[in-house]
Structure 1
Amino acid sequence: MNSPLRLEKVTPHTVDAACAMKVTDGQEHLVAPVVRSLADAYVHGDAAWPRLVFRGRELVGFVMASFSPDSPVDAFRCGIWRLNIADGAQGSGCGRFAVEAVCEEARRRGQDRITVLWLPGDDGPEGFYRRLGFRPVGALQGQVVGELRL
């Protein structure tokens, strides 16, 4: 039986494993590595919400959301900045869990929608996000903006 999934903050004890986590070969161009996301989180301070996804003791993913209701860019007010699911853990519900956890946090903060950006293309994550209920609502920086009403 699989252990339940949970989110944890990045700590001094987990940062090395987080930075070493790799997505499936061929997906590297679709999402920044975790180390870059952690640097972005540092720079953006309280607006960034980085979390690790664990299944039992196994690190299976990383998600970083943004909660910045005053952002001048609508797509960055409440949404998913990054979602990295480890090679070997994709297709097992870890990504869905991470997105649902961001939705839960957004609701807790009084938000009624979240956004995500993805690169268009056959090898991209559009199908995953659309299956979760996101719908394309525009484009930004060469990426599709998807929206999910909560």
Structure 2
Amino acid sequence: MTARIRLVEVTDANCDAVIAVRVHPAQDRFVASVEKSFEHAAEHPEANPWFRAVFAGDEPVGFVMLSWDVTPAPGLLGPYFLWRLLIGAGHQGRGYGTAILDEVVALLRAEGATELVTSCVPGEGTPEPFYRRYGFVPTGEVDEDGETVLRLDLR
């Protein structure tokens, strides 16, 4: 059974609680923090960042950020790129990651998107097996940061 979550806009009222969501320390090298995600979004407006807090009930359990409907260019994958997906350390293993992807995929299909692209750092502990179980497949590309590029067909 997939976990029940809501994608919620980040507001002044929930921002501090969302920033407090952290992955396991061993995962820090694979996924940037929520705070760093906000910095990346501000530094790269050309990536058309779209982000949401992930709530289970009244508690923030994760965060998701995409590049939304961009024209692919050097250093900018798209048109829809899963830029960040993180689940708080105390909330992992409960199906939240899959539930987030289910919500994102439904939103993207409603927009007429035909694919979702992401990338991940190679190495032990990488989230690549999670993405592959969901249906993402390696494209054979490696991005400018040395990350493996994966693609999910939404058709």
Question: Quick check: TM above 0.5?
Answer: yes
Map 1:24-43 onto structure 2 (within 5 A).
Answer: 24-43=24-43
One-letter amino acid of the structure 2 residue matched with residue 59 of structure 1: P
Map 1:82-121 onto structure 2 (within 5 A).
Answer: 82-121=84-123
One-letter amino acid of the structure 1 residue matched with residue 10 of structure 2: V
Distance in 1 of aligned mates of 2:86 and 2:25 = 12
Number of the residue aligned with 1:57: 58
Q: CA RMSD in A?
A: 1.8
**SS of aligned partner of 1:83:** strand
One-letter amino acid of the structure 2 residue matched with residue 123 of structure 1: G
**SS of aligned partner of 2:124:** coil
Distance in 1 of aligned mates of 2:128 and 2:4 = 26
Q: CA deviation at 1:104?
A: 1.6
Distance in 2 of aligned mates of 1:111 and 1:14 = 29
Number of the residue aligned with 1:19: 19
Number of the residue aligned with 1:125: 127
Distance in 1 of aligned mates of 2:78 and 2:32 = 17
Q: CA deviation at 1:59?
A: 0.8
Contact 2:137 2:151 in 1 (8 A): yes
Contact 1:75 1:145 in 2 (8 A): no
TM-score, reference length from structure 2:
0.88
Distance in 2 of aligned mates of 1:68 and 1:95 = 22
Distance in 1 of aligned mates of 2:42 and 2:102 = 24
Distance in 2 of aligned mates of 1:47 and 1:30 = 22
Distance in 1 of aligned mates of 2:24 and 2:123 = 17
CA distances 1:44-96 after superposition (whole Å, capped 9, x unpaired): 44711110111101111000011133131463321200011001111111111
Number of the residue aligned with 1:142: 146
The number of residues matched between the two structures is: 149
Which residues of structure 1 form unaligned runs of 5+?
none
Which residues of structure 2 form unaligned runs of 5+?
none
Distance in 1 of aligned mates of 2:110 and 2:38 = 23
Distance in 1 of aligned mates of 2:44 and 2:72 = 12
